[in-house]
Each structure stands twice: as C-alpha cells, then as structure tokens.
Amino acid sequence: MDKIQKYEFVKKSREYLDEKKVTALFKNLTKQLLIHRPDSPIDFLINRINKKEPIRVFLIGAPGSIAKMLARRISKEVEFTTISAGELMKKESNRSINPAEVKEEIDQFRVVCDSNLPSIIKNNILKCESEGKNWILEGFPRTKTQVLNLQRIGIIPDIIVFLEVEREASFEKIKRNITDSDSTITGDEIDVAAEKILQEYELQLAQVKESYSKFVNVFPKTKPMDEMEKDLLEMVKLKADDPLLPPGIKIIKEETEEEIEE
C-alpha cells in the first residue's frame, strides 16, 4: 500500500466511523467506564450498548426565575419526568431532623448544604435512570460540590439551561421570601440579609457554570418565554433523534418580574 492508498484508507475509515457514530459511541462508553470503574468492564460495556440512555436536562434559574414553570411545560410537552429540587426540599422539611433549618433555606434561597439535598435528588435520578425515563432536573446543582457528586454517580447533563433574572428582580424576590417567612429580620436588616444571600448564590452559581463552561451558549435577554420553550424543545428533539450528540448548554436571560412569579 503506497502513501496515497494509505491516506485514502485512513480518510474513508474516519468518514465511516463518523457517519455511523462509532467514534462518539466509543467516547461515551469510555467515559462511562472511567466513571463507574466496574469489576467486569466487558459485561458493563455490553450492558451499556444494549441499554437505552435517558435524556438528561438540567434547568437552573436564579431566585425569581421561571425555571419551575418552564420545566413543567417542557415535561408535559415531551412526557419527561420533572425532578424539582425546591419541591423535594419542601417535602424533606416535613421529616428532616432540623425542619426549621431546611425551611429557612427554602424561604431565603440559601444554598442547601451538600450533605442534604444530593441524597434526596439522587434517589429520584436513579429511579429515572433504572427505568430508562427521560428527566428534567430543576433547580440543581447549586454548588460545584454538587456537580461533582452528580458526576461521581455518572450523571452528566445532555442539555443544561441557565435562566438568568435581572439582579434587582432576584433581590426583591429574596426580600419577599424573608418577609413572608417566620424570620425575625425586619427593616434595613432585610436588605442586608437579601444581599448576602444573593451574593452567595451568585458565587456558587458561577462555579457551577464554570464546571460546564465548555458547553455554554447565551440566549438574548429579549427572548420571549414561548421562544425559550420552542428552542429548548428543539434541543430535546435533536438529542432524541441523535442520542450520541455531545452535551450542550444554553444560558437564558429572563424577562419581566410579572413572568417570573411562581
């Protein structure tokens, strides 16, 4: 085989592997193998090849966002299971060792400790995974540690959407939650507390975004809610039509305060 023949062979081989998605398949299998590190790699790979992978969507919004509303609309449209961090936290507060602390975290949008929420989320995720159901995780992860905890159990999103709200809208939303709670904070102390909570959220979310930085895209602030839903549905359909597509992220900036109230 001369150099020209060798070049043509390599070229056609690569074209074939790309066309049949073989390269993407092996990359995904290798990634899963390194994450899970099974005792029997061959059996693990055979099971993975035969298994239908669910579509995993992360939907994260700042305080006051329409993340929950958007998750519900998308889930209804494409029959996904919604895993809402906020709703799970409320349920957990009813049986927690320290329910008052969990309730305070919910009311004031503080970042919940890493040892609490992941265990609640994990069971719901693994149930969807074992049943092969597509799912949307709303309001999570909130910290870099939580990102790592998800990765340790092999959970990497196919689509992750950040919904950004105007800072003033988030600030006012947090203030209302503080006022409506049983908190003893009053007057100017509410502004101080709300600012502290929002700064913590922004710091933690920046680290979450950095963890997924290779996939980040931005939607303009003026994009209407219906267009956001349409674009996200198209992303889901694209992933469903081609399961071996690499993961991707969209960052969406929110609309008016009237839209973001839940």
pTM of the model: 0.74
Is the backbone peptide bond immediately before 243 cis, with ω within 30 degrees of 0?
no
Burial 196-226 (b: 16+ CB within 10 A, else e): ebbeebeebbeebbebbeebeeebeeeeebe
Exposure of 202 in the CB half-sphere (CA atoms within 13 A): 13
Q: How confident is the model over 102-131, as a mean pLDDT?
A: 68
CA dist 67 → 52, 136, 195 (Å) = 27, 11, 21
- Give me the sheet containing 81-84, strands edge to edge: 81-84, 135-138, 56-61, 159-164, 248-253, 218-219
| Domains of the chain: residue spans and CATH | 1-51 (1.20.890), 54-260 (3.40.50.300)
Confidence (pLDDT) at 52 = 76
As a whole number, the mean pLDDT across the chain is: 79
Confidence (pLDDT) at 73 = 93
Q: How confident is the model over 23-41, as a mean pLDDT?
A: 81
Q: Select, from the ranges 47-56, 61-70, 245-254, the one with the highest average predicted confidence (pLDDT).
A: 61-70
Question: For 186-235, how does the pLDDT look when each residue is reduced to its tens digit (9 = 90+)?
Answer: 888 889 988 998 999 899 989 998 998 877 665 656 677 898 899 899 99
Q: What is the 3-state secondary structure (H, E, C) of the chain?
A: CCHHHHHHHHHHHHHHHHHCCHHHHHHHHHHHHHHHCCCCHHHHHHHHHHCCCCCEEEEEECCCCCHHHHHHHHHHHHCCEEEEHHHHHHHHHCCCCCHHHHHHHHHHCCCCCCCCHHHHHHHHHHHHHHHCCCEEEECCCCCHHHHHHHHHCCCCCCEEEEEECCHHHHHHHHHHHHHHCCCCCCCHHHHHHHHHHHHHHHHHHHHHHHHCHHHCCEECCCCCHHHHHHHHHHHHHHHHHCCCCCCEEEEEECCCHHHHCC
Q: How confident is the model at residue 259 (pLDDT cuts 50, 70, 90)?
A: very low
Confidence (pLDDT) at 220 = 59
**64 burial type by CB count under 10 A (0-12 exposed, 13-18 middle, 19+ buried):** buried
